[in-house]
Amino acid sequence: MKYQGSCHCGQVKFVAKGELTEALSCNCSICQKKGSLLWFLPSNQVKVSLETPEVLANYTFNKHVINHHFCKNCGIHPYAQGIDAEGNSIFAINVRCIDDIDLDKIKINYFDGRSV
């Protein structure tokens, strides 16, 4: 399956390939404030297209190992990028930014990121 998504204004777009059946709801300091639902997948299954390279901003905190990307124009966070425990480059897609997604069809797993 291919899933298309974007920020609110459409200047940051992505296509993610894979089977989306579950998403992660995390209560860590940033996920709780963003309200994002995350889908993790290898970076080679995600293609990003930007209206201009300058539109994409990056926010990091704590250990600065996760790049929380967001659109400078509309402020929406469509995805984050990082390295997993095995050293692989991965994306965390914000499932809420996928076009026409029916969130009721996706199993939500709750993760206590605040206690990690």
Question: Which residues of the shown chain bind Zn ion in the complex (CB under 5 A)?
Answer: 7, 9, 11, 71, 73-74
* Residue in 26, 34, 103, 32 with CA at minimum distance from that of residue 70: 34
- The nearer residue to Zn ion, 73 or 92, going by C-beta atoms, is 73
Least distance (Å) from Zn ion to the CB of residue 109?
28
- The nearer residue to Zn ion, 50 or 101, going by C-beta atoms, is 50
Least distance (Å) from Zn ion to the CB of residue 21?
27
Strand partners, 51: none
Taking the mean position of all CA atoms in its chain, how far away is CA 83? 14
Least distance (Å) from Zn ion to the CB of residue 11?
5
Q: How distant, in Å, are the alpha carbons of 82, 83, 101 from that of 6?
A: 19, 22, 12
Residue nearest to Zn ion (CB): 71
